[in-house]
Chains A and B, each alone.
Chain A
Amino acid sequence: MRLTVDETQNDPKAVLYSRCTIDLSSRDVRFKDVPCRNLEEVLGGAGRSLQLLAERTITNAYTPENPLIVNTGILTGSTVMTGLRAYFSAYSPLKVSNQGLPGAMWSAGSGKFGCKLRWTGVDELILEGRSSEQVIIVIRPGTDGPTVEFKSASHLLGLECYKKILLLKEEYPDADFAAIGPAGENYENCYFAAVALSTENLFKSGDDKCRWAGRGGMGSVMGYKGVIAIVAQAPDKLGKLKPEIRDINREIATGTDSRKFREKDKGGLGGTWSGYEALEPFNLLPQNNFRPEGDGKPKLMSRPEVEPQFFIKAESCFRCGLNCHKNLYEKTSDGGRGRFLAKFDFEPVNLLSTNMGIHDPNLACELIGMVDHLGMDNISVGTTISYVLYYNERHPLKRILNGATFGEFEKVKELIEGTGLGRYPEIGHGVKRLSEQLGETGYAMQCKGMELAGYLPDTNPGYPFAIAGPHMSMATHLLLMAEGDTSLEYWVKAITQRGLFQVRDDMTGVCKFSSMNPDRMVKALKYEIGLEITTQELLAAVRRNFARGLWLERKQGFERADYTLPSEVFDRPNHKLGRGPFITREFFSSLSEQVWSVFDREVAEL
């Protein structure tokens, strides 16, 4: 990405993104510097990809015409801390309207791949068509601009994500990588394969420490296209750190917001996993398919309970001071660090243990590790399997698959492995499709085909309005816990005036955990890029991008009926919850009317 004219103008057309379009069918490669059409495109990421996807008519995610867009945000590869994001966008095999059409989707991941892609001279890679052989795409900077080479991926097939990446690292020592695992290779039977992104910690340790673009099956689309890995091979090209950016970075790393992620002995709360300590006393942790029992068992997976058994090391992505990765290792007899086990984040811990009735951290490590090795979205696979467990518990005489119910670790493990290896399409096609086949949709925890993350639907009527995964693109999932307000007026404002702004960081290239307020983001754009925009202009661009996501959903057949919660929320309220339940059908119907009265207008104005 580069600015033309001078460094203080704000005409979108003066900002050029370097695009590489690869037709995988013909292996034709084209490069072009593309001027931006509006501020959303300048900001990058999903701000660009949604507009590109809007130009296509796609009725099946697995068609050559469905592009896989791999791009960066304006701050990816910059000196702004957490500016590491790579975005993968396409029509998703998982997200689906009731009419059966695929929804547009993006997924973001950190690690170092996004930076390296930019440092090859490519800001945006569009993969068209489909390769007849499974390939590796190698992108490098050249004297006349970036170059692309295709290599056979035959030696990588079947390998776990991190093993693929480690093998590639031997071949391309100064590169970073985006790769799919066995789940992506088995795209026909697994719609929620993730894309693994390499990290320095992976290379240093040899352990599975990838970062992930997990949601919406972008790894499945990559697998369909026959692309096993993308190699971005370039020397590091970090710019000089300016004093203004140094101050912003200091705030990101040591400011009030970062305390959530810091270790307790460094004045923090201990990472996303600490949510267990806050939510468990209120019975607000998903348990047994999002149905907290109030039996205290979830506490067994909280950090204070788990920590004495393990060695925990806080690690981070490239040049990030947040140290949000809480990596669990075996504890040696002298209390030292033994073998790496798994990274404990809130969602995988919850959805692959507590929500499956498993309350043993050693077993959770095994399941989290397996999901990562196979390259699946832990949210989708966890939530779909918890549905299976619940179904089997409800139907002891007609159990499905291997008959697993809550707490049956060995059977759950077999389901996970089988899903990643393509043996269980029933699970791999996601919980919406499975529940429709079984005729029991009420407790399938999904919205628009996207499985719910580790927050109860009973606490968040904003879930259905998210455009790229039910908690990543609508920041309403913590509000009931934080404010306890159950009024209609509050929730309409929460969705239409606050929650949607979470998609900003799916445009700009920084991690959501940077917690940059809008003014600080504007300052970062000014001093890092030379882009002068106002806070109001930034927020307006984010709003337009969100509205564009809704427009795209409408284009793909999503109707009012698609925007709803699992009906169990309305029909079988869980009175064990410490906050709520408060979402009745009447409440949700009124909420929808008022939310759409705002969003309909904005969609029409696009």
Chain B
Amino acid sequence: MVQIHLASFLQERIGGITSVEVSADTVSGALLALTDMYPQLVRMIWAGEQGVASPMMAVFLNNELVEPLRLQASTVKPGDRIEVLIAVSGGD
């Protein structure tokens, strides 16, 4: 299983859940599993069609930023950690 950790911005949309475990072979597959579980995240994570990540989101795999176009090519193995956050911040 792969762990997906969500930033607070996404947690708010799914009742405060901070992380989920999914079974997947790629980062893209893991995120698809996530949005299958929580369809309310689809708009935030995918840019129009599923499989293409929203450029407003940042995805990290084991501490490394995964470029949006590399989600499908980035393989994952059990125990990997994916983190998803919005790529824009500000307001201080």
Which A residues are within 8 Å of any B CB, using their own CB?
255-257, 259-261, 264, 267, 269, 272, 274-275, 277-279, 281-282, 324, 345-347, 453-455, 471-472, 475, 477-478, 481-485, 498, 502, 511-513, 515-519
Contact = CB atoms under 8 A, between A and B. Distances in A.
B22 interface: no
A259 B58 contact: yes
B88 A259 contact: no
Contacts of A267: 60, 63-65
Which has the most chain A C-beta neighbours within 10 Å: B6, B64, B83, B92? B92
Contact of A512 (B12, B55, B84, B91): B91
Which has the most chain B C-beta neighbours within 10 Å: A259, A272, A345? A259
A257 B83 CA distance: 9
A67 B11 CA distance: 39
A256 B5 contact: yes
Given A269-B58, A518-B16, A278 B44 contact: no
Given A481-B88, A482-B44, A515 B7 contact: yes
Contact of A517 (B18, B58, B60, B88): B18
Given A267-B65, A517-B11, A478 B60 contact: no
A281 B11 CA distance: 26
B92 A324 contact: yes
Contact of B85 (A259, A347, A512): A259
A351 to B, nearest CB: 11
A528 B58 CA distance: 32
Closest 9 CB pairs of A and B: A260-B89, A278-B87, A346-B90, A256-B83, A267-B63, A275-B88, A272-B90, A483-B43, A256-B5
B56 interface: yes
B9 interface: yes
A549 B7 CA distance: 28
A477 B91 contact: yes
B74 interface: no
Given A482-B44, A485-B43, A279 B88 contact: yes
Contact of A453 (B7, B65, B88, B91): B91
19 contacts: A256-B6, A257-B8, A259-B7, A259-B58, A261-B89, A269-B65, A269-B89, A272-B89, A275-B89, A275-B90, A278-B87, A278-B88, A345-B90, A345-B92, A347-B90, A472-B91, A478-B90, A498-B12, A516-B8
Contact of B7 (A256, A274, A485): A256
A482 B42 CA distance: 11
Nearest to B83: A256
A518 B8 CA distance: 10
Nearest to A276: B88
B52 interface: no
A483 B44 contact: yes
A500 to B, nearest CB: 13
A259 B12 CA distance: 18
Contacts of B16: 517-519
A124 B12 CA distance: 33
B86 interface: yes
Given A256-B5, A482-B9, A272 B65 contact: no
B56 A455 contact: no
Interface in B29-73: 43-44, 54-58, 60, 63-65
A484 B55 CA distance: 12
Contacts of A264: 65
